[in-house]
Amino acid sequence: MGLFEDAAEAVKKHKDASVKTLVLGWHASYIVASDGRWGIGYVPASHKEEHKGREEHTNILLGGSLAKLAALLLSPFPQEFAAATAACTALFPFPAGGLRMDSIMPCARGDKVAVLGYEREVIPLMRDWGWKLAIFDDRRRGPDCFPQKDFTDGARGAEWVWLSPEAIRDRWLISTTDALKEKKGCFLQGPGLPWLPGSFSALGVTHLVAPLLTGSAENAQARIAAGGNPWLCPELEWRVHMARNGDLSL
């Protein structure tokens, strides 16, 4: 089975709950279930496409449970995808632990890294780490930025790959699986990733990057609701998990 089929099957095995709160912020979404479970989702960038809510989508989201919203992971619409990824992280939270972001610094130093999507808070880190970046994003201009349509060729020519959550919504994760499996490694960053490491590993992903709550959940939720970026949230610490066999080695 594929990622979406795996997620659908996994949802059936988890306890469902009604949704108490759903917030779609500028940079992230979050959901709180009636039983207290909560999760942070991914909101597609507004400068890539217009954020235009659809009334029929709003009605679906308002009447949904965790399971019903998680089923929208297949949706290409930003409104539904933002809700679905939040529901998925509430249903399938990442375990405690993982590695600090700076621990991955040496793994790709001096290597060419194909990056899908320009994440303003992440790209400077990679450059400081000495990674040789080729960024595939139609929004950016620069000597190391290329059209997104060329990503498949770029991934084939790189030693490592870094994917944003857009790779799930735009299906790049699916269409480039063969190339990803030939790399030294592939990072898939959150927020909005469900903890389904085996499903991601089957697609060539080796590392999953997700936020870990280290402070007040209420403060993190308030920051997201106010349009804050989860990469800059003091209550969250970003961690790296291995998708293969749970091994944390790099």
Contact call for residues 207 and 104 (beta carbons, < 8 A): yes
Distance CA(126)–CA(137), nearest Å, equals 16
C-alpha atoms less than 13 angstroms from C-alpha of 237 in its C-beta half-sphere? 13
> Span 153-164, mean pLDDT?
96
- Grade residue 118 by pLDDT with cuts at 50, 70 and 90: confident
Distance CA(27)–CA(190), nearest Å, equals 12
> Span 190-200, mean pLDDT?
96
Q: Is the pLDDT of residue 227 over 50?
A: yes
Return mean pLDDT, the chain. Answer: 90
Predicted TM-score (pTM) of this structure: 0.92
- Grade residue 224 by pLDDT with cuts at 50, 70 and 90: very high
Task: List, in order of start, the domains of the chain with CATH numbers.
Answer: 3-91 (3.30.390.100), 99-242 (3.40.50.11590)
> Span 217-227, mean pLDDT?
96
Q: Is the pLDDT of residue 241 over 60?
A: yes
> Span 64-74, mean pLDDT?
93
> Span 196-215, mean pLDDT?
96
Q: Is the pLDDT of residue 50 over 90?
A: no
Residue 31 has what pLDDT?
Answer: 96
- Rg of the chain (C-alpha set): 17
- Angle, alpha carbons 7-209-237 (nearest 5°): 120
Residue 2 has what pLDDT?
Answer: 85
